[in-house]
Amino acid sequence: MHHESCQADWWKNLLYINNFSFSGSGCMGQTWYLAVEMQCFIITPLLIWPLWKFPKFGLGLISMFFLAVTGGAIGIAWDKDYPPSAMFQAPGDGYMENYYVVPWVRIQPYLMGMVLGFILFKLRKTEKLKMHSIAVTWCWAIAFAVGCAVIYGTNPWLKNASDVLYDYHTIPVAARSLYNGLHRVGWGLAVGWVILACVKGAGGPVNTFLSWRAWAPLARMSYVMYLVHLPVIDYYLTLPSYTVTVNHPMVVYYLLWVLSVSALIAYICVIGFEMPLTHMEKMLFGNLPQVKRMFPQEAKTVNDEKASEKRTES
């Protein structure tokens, strides 16, 4: 299935438009999100430049855009009578292809990330947040509560959804629409606080855990694991030749196995392809005069690497 779809639709992935013809499978179906991120990235100069030159105007522009897309996400979900999330979608309701994977619904946390980046830039000379410890504690508590609400807030609905014939229309349309339009905002706020707190000395044990050096190898492989995990899942789903009774221990075992196999394949891909190509890219762009002027530190790093290699050879 993957092979045939990529033979037919590879050009959509190349142009980053595969999310506009999403069918659930397609050529590497998980890459719909890469298309969304590229589409969001393309419009960033229109927002970053005003933010850089005229901060107040730029913040106002991003805020207006943010409110517009948030209102649009709520309004579309209400008008189309969509389920609250992909967990509840029904065949033919158009939720995935017309709502879940489109950039104007997905751009909310991207805009929030721009503002967070701007805040970190303004605070670049500030080592620690100038906040009282009580205020920091409250911010952590609110971020934790909001994050949990996003993840576990649908649990009452999911208990009913265990019925194969469950109709998500029994959930009030207002609740469905508000969750659709606001849950990414809540998640962005929660994650944004974690980043800000950890970077600016208010992370405590959370920062210690997230800064653990053992995460570094997995962080290097995470992108490729994302690219390869769906074929791994599909492959192992095709293996059983008998009826499988699903239970929690089996699902945990299955997920750990898929994670391990995906990590192994990702390691091979990173060592064999990604790292060599990244090094070649640095060598290529590091020698361009324009790049040397724009990114002197990166050019210095490349030159230092070359000098180190020459010393090693000699």
**What are residue 268's phi and psi, to 5 degrees?**
-65, -45
Q: Average pLDDT in the 85-114 region?
A: 90
218 with 263: CB under 8 angstroms? yes
216 with 253: CB under 8 angstroms? no
pLDDT at 169: 86
Kindly state the tokens that stand for 3. 């092979």
pTM to 2 decimal places = 0.83
- Give the separation between CA 176 and CA 154, rounded to whole angstroms: 10
pLDDT at 29: 85
pLDDT at 133 > cutoff 70: yes
pLDDT at 296 > cutoff 90: no
Q: What is the pLDDT of residues 201-260, one digit of tens each?
A: 999 999 999 999 989 988 999 999 999 998 899 899 889 888 888 889 999 999 999 999
Kindly state the tokens that stand for 173. 């349309």
Q: Average pLDDT in the 18-39 region?
A: 86
Q: What is the mean pLDDT of the chain?
A: 88
Domain ranges of the chain: 43-205, 213-314
Kindly state the tokens that stand for 174. 């207002």
What residue has token string 């959930």? Answer: 171
For residue 89, name the pLDDT band (cuts at 50, 70, 90): confident
For residue 123, name the pLDDT band (cuts at 50, 70, 90): very high
Q: Say which residue, 87 or 197, is predicted with more confidence.
A: 197
Kindly state the tokens that stand for 310. 């020459």
Half-sphere exposure at residue 207, Cβ-oriented, CA atoms within 13 angstroms: 13
Kindly state the tokens that stand for 184. 């990414």
Q: Average pLDDT in the 9-22 region?
A: 90
